[in-house]
A and B are shown apart, each in its own frame.
Chain A
Amino acid sequence: QKEVEQNSGPLSVPEGAIASLNCTYSDRGSQSFFWYRQYSGKSPELIMFIYSNGDKEDGRFTAQLNKASQYVSLLIRDSQPSDSATYLCAVNTDTGNQFYFGTGTSLTVIP
């Protein structure tokens, strides 16, 4: 079992809609959870992180964490064509020193 699992998509949403991206992880002791965005040919860039159960909002982005279900999600409200990218879920291990990534979900926002 891989440490982090994501639906690879592709996911297509119309401009202005909500995009929902999901991620599950296997290590129950994981402490920190991250969402990265990666444009084609570029390196990943951090969107946001979450440590505690519940929701965390940052602008149009909301991260949701459910440690009991070992589930992390990212909601993008009012999706824009510039949001079209691959979204990577990353988990920091129990020791806090290793980061594991999912395969990423490709998102396309259709104008």
Chain B
Amino acid sequence: DTGVSQNPRHKITKRGQNVTFRCDPISEHNRLYWYRQTLGQGPEFLTYFQNEAQLEKSRLLSDRFSAERPKGSFSTLEIQRTEQGDSAMYLCASDVGELFFGEGSRLTVL
């Protein structure tokens, strides 16, 4: 499978725990994006990388959210001290002019 891969696909956690999501983009795509999507809403831009450089992170929802792409290949999105309001689908995408999305990681915070 040469598409964008995300894992885990589903994560259930208790409030206050930390969670980490991983994204493996399409191999030749240099840009990688993270979005959050809640029910009935469109994808909400969080951050993006060009290779290993994080070029925009002002849209991360709070300082509990952080993302890395250490070697310019896969990326991780971490949410610390999760809150119930963090429950959402977290989508990763990579692009060469148009976005290709992974299947998403659904987070449920109890």
Contacts and interface: CB of A to CB of B under 8 A. Distances in A.
Given A32-B97, A97-B55, A103-B41, A43 B102 contact: yes
Interface residues of B, number: 24
Nearest to B43: A101
Q: How large is the interface on A (under 10, 10 to 19, 20 to 34, 35 or more residues)?
A: 20 to 34
Interface of A: 4, 6, 8, 32, 34, 36, 42-46, 49, 88, 90, 97-104
Nearest to B31: A97
B48 A102 contact: no
Given A32-B97, A46-B98, A46-B99, A98 B56 contact: yes
B45 interface: yes
A45 B48 contact: no
Label chain B's interface by main secondary structure: strand
A32 B95 CA distance: 13
B101 A97 contact: no
Interface in B82-110: 91, 93, 95, 97-104
Contacts of B40: 8, 103-104
Contacts of A43: 91, 101-104
B50 interface: yes
A-B pairs, 8 with minimum CB distance: A101-B42, A43-B101, A101-B43, A103-B42, A104-B42, A43-B104, A102-B42, A88-B42
